[in-house]
Structure 1
Amino acid sequence: MPRLDDRLKAVARQIRCGTHADIGSDHGHLLVALLKSGRIRRGIAIENKPQPLENSSRSLRGLNAEVRFADGFAGLSVGEVDSASLCGLGGETIVRILDAFPDRVPDRVVLQPNRRPEWVRRWAIRSGFHLMDEQIARGHWDYPVLSFQRLGSITDPAYGGLDHEAALLFGPLLMKRMPRLVHDRLAEERLYLRKLQRLGPESAARLRVIERVLSAAPAAERS
């Protein structure tokens, strides 16, 4: 994928459709890569700030794409796109954008929260979206890339057999597919949290979940 860092490459690999909208396109590079690689036929970039709007307009000039000045899904009509992406935002911000116009959110979404991915996973559960794929892209820190498909109110099987609270925090598919890697990362985080002289309520709750997951891990992973 041209001109993409590892984070956006991981996002791009999850997208293949007719019309795709990138919400908060920033520079438009994701849509450029998707269009030039043939993974989408048409792109729509949505921006609510003048400079990123100008950046995306410049990047996408001459391609089968449209750049719109709007706040999130307010810039789309119902059923206009096959899939959408929101990248590089906090989980709480992504959820706010998704909840603002739920009828305009397509059945397929790829979300890349920079923090608090559990907010995104909770949104998906209450909104009838199932977690289809979950990746970690390396960068300044680990970036989760989450792909969801709207499948209705039935229980998402991704969470089956797992500590539900831990799966929300750390990713159900990651816990199943890469248990040793997840275990090692949680062990590092536990060590860091234990060294802090004082923990806020959120960090203390997170540490309790980590302790529970690590204590339940197989002996081979604890060694």
Structure 2
Amino acid sequence: MKLDARLEAVRAFVPAGGVVADIGTDHGYLAVALVQSGQAERVIASDLNLGPCEAARRTVREERLNGAVEVRQGDGLTVLVPGEVQTACIAGMGGALMVSILAAAPLVVKKLDALVLQPMNGAYELRHYLYQHGWHVADETLVVADDRIYTVLRAEKGRCKMPDALTLEIGPVLWERKPELLRHHIESLLFQARRAAAGMEKSERAKQSAKYKDIQKRIKALEERLIW
């Protein structure tokens, strides 16, 4: 099963061996690739909606992996029994939704060894939640797919000092390692912040708000992070 660069980065971050959950599996491509590559002994793939579950089951049948990939329909991690899997992958969702998925199944999360996450947005909220709840970012990478830059991270158990807000937004491991795509990543965050500021500048009342001042401070701080 050939994956695009985004899902391949997710697959590569999964610790080898054990049972893996692929939450929000869509067509089941990641689940199948995890088994075929030997990355996982078994995968439980889930999706909230029937259509993606049927598509995933079709993919599993076509690849003759019915014994290695099980597809379950349900909401997030609630389809799992605590201790059933060692690693959970959640990709292609907003960070806020990922937080709600993690918060909805605390007993399942407590028994996990690792989380592999690819937020489409809201990375600050996601990282903040992880550090608040006894997890930390152990590894991160940036990857380009379909002309868009994506962040993929692996979180592991263990309390660590909470990074500052800007580092949580950029990514603590990314900032430490300074990968090739980091400037592009920060520039993307800057673009979003400047667009938000431009929208507020259409209103004099908004320009006087604390939120506008905070955005201006964030823009300045991000600009300073482009220099190293």
Match of 2:214 among 205, 208, 212: 205
Over 3 Å counting, the alpha-carbon distance change for 1:144 and 1:179 in structure 2 is: closer
Answering whether residue 198 of structure 2 is matched by residue 196 of structure 1, we say yes
Give me the whole-angstrom Cα distance separating, in 2, the residues matched to 1:57 and 1:204.
50
Query: Cα offset for 1:7?
Result: 0.2
Question: Structure 2 counterpart of 1:77, which letter?
Answer: V
Over 3 Å counting, the alpha-carbon distance change for 1:33 and 1:183 in structure 2 is: closer
State the Cα RMSD in Å.
2.5
Map 1:64-213 to 2 at 5 A.
64-105=68-109, 106-140=112-146, 141-151=148-158, 153-155=159-161, 159=163, 164-178=164-178, 181-183=181-183, 185-186=185-186, 190=190, 193=194, 196=198, 198=200, 205-213=214-222
Asked if the contact 1:69/1:75 (under 8 Å) is kept, the reply is yes
Give me the whole-angstrom Cα distance separating, in 2, the residues matched to 1:180 and 1:172.
15
Give me the whole-angstrom Cα distance separating, in 2, the residues matched to 1:146 and 1:98.
15
Query: Cα offset for 1:155?
Result: 2.7
Give me the whole-angstrom Cα distance separating, in 2, the residues matched to 1:56 and 1:190.
37
Query: Cα offset for 1:166?
Result: 0.8
Over 3 Å counting, the alpha-carbon distance change for 1:190 and 1:112 in structure 2 is: closer
- 2:6 equivalent in structure 1: 7
Aligned residues: 211
SS of the residue corresponding to residue 55 of structure 2 reads helix
User: TM (normalized to structure 1)?
Assistant: 0.84
1:6-36 deviations in Å (ceiling 9; x for gaps) = 0000000001231000001001000111101
Over 3 Å counting, the alpha-carbon distance change for 1:66 and 1:189 in structure 2 is: closer
Give me the whole-angstrom Cα distance separating, in 2, the residues matched to 1:126 and 1:31.
29
Question: Structure 2 counterpart of 1:8, which letter?
Answer: L
Give me the whole-angstrom Cα distance separating, in 2, the residues matched to 1:189 and 1:113.
14
Unaligned 5+ runs, structure 2: none
Asked if the contact 1:29/1:59 (under 8 Å) is kept, the reply is yes
Over 3 Å counting, the alpha-carbon distance change for 1:203 and 1:108 in structure 2 is: farther
Asked if the contact 2:124/2:165 (under 8 Å) is kept, the reply is no
Question: Structure 2 counterpart of 1:107, which letter?
Answer: D
User: TM (normalized to structure 2)?
Assistant: 0.82
SS of the residue corresponding to residue 112 of structure 1 reads strand
Question: Structure 1 counterpart of 2:22, which letter?
Answer: D
Identity between Structure 1 and Structure 2 (%): 33
- 1:22 equivalent in structure 2: 22
Asked if the contact 1:23/1:46 (under 8 Å) is kept, the reply is yes
Asked if the contact 2:142/2:181 (under 8 Å) is kept, the reply is no
Give me the whole-angstrom Cα distance separating, in 2, the residues matched to 1:18 and 1:75.
18
Unaligned 5+ runs, structure 1: none
Give me the whole-angstrom Cα distance separating, in 2, the residues matched to 1:147 and 1:212.
26
Give me the whole-angstrom Cα distance separating, in 1, the residues matched to 2:19 and 2:27.
18
